[in-house]
Amino acid sequence: MKPVLARIAVKIKELRDYQTIPKSDQATLEERFNIVWKDVSDLPDISTRQKRRLKLARNVYHRVLSENSNLFLPFILELSPRNIETFTKIDELFALDRLSRCRLELGHDARRICEEIASRNGFEKCFSFTDFIRSLFDKGLYAVV
């Protein structure tokens, strides 16, 4: 398996090439969006250990979102909550010049996919979600998160 940072770089290239979220990533994206924007404690059928893992992942995902909204999608698509437990290179991620300057140029289809996931799961009006959408898709109109 490739190192995590290399996988993130490959995912960035893939998202840039397709200018959307590939069908093969959409279920993963929905799962990870739910971790970020839904309350983990509302999930009744999971163990305490799983809830801790999800809360840790949520915190790390939020940190990436706040540091660089362009890295957020490739990061959450490549790092599962289980991978987050052993991921120790978060500071290295932001220090790498080629990743820190990452700019995704995604099309309207990618925006539609993100907004449909949010609507289906009830967080479409969540401020941090709408701010993420604006920062990623409304270039020049809003400051990047």
Its pTM stands at: 0.86
Helix (H, G, I), strand (E, B) or coil at 3: coil
> Range of 108's domain?
4-38+46-137
Residues 25-69 pLDDT 10s: 999 999 999 999 998 776 667 888 888 899 999 999 999 998 888
Is residue 94 a part of any domain in this protein?
A: yes
- Apex 67 CA angle, 64 and 69, nearest 5: 70
Which of 70, 88, 85 has its CA nearest to residue 16? 70
Q: Output the CA torsion 34→71→109→38 (10° steps).
A: 10
* Number of domains present in the structure of the chain: 1
Is residue 128 a part of any domain in this protein?
A: yes
* Environment class of 129 (CB within 10 Å of its CB; exposed 0-12, middle 13-18, buried 19+): buried
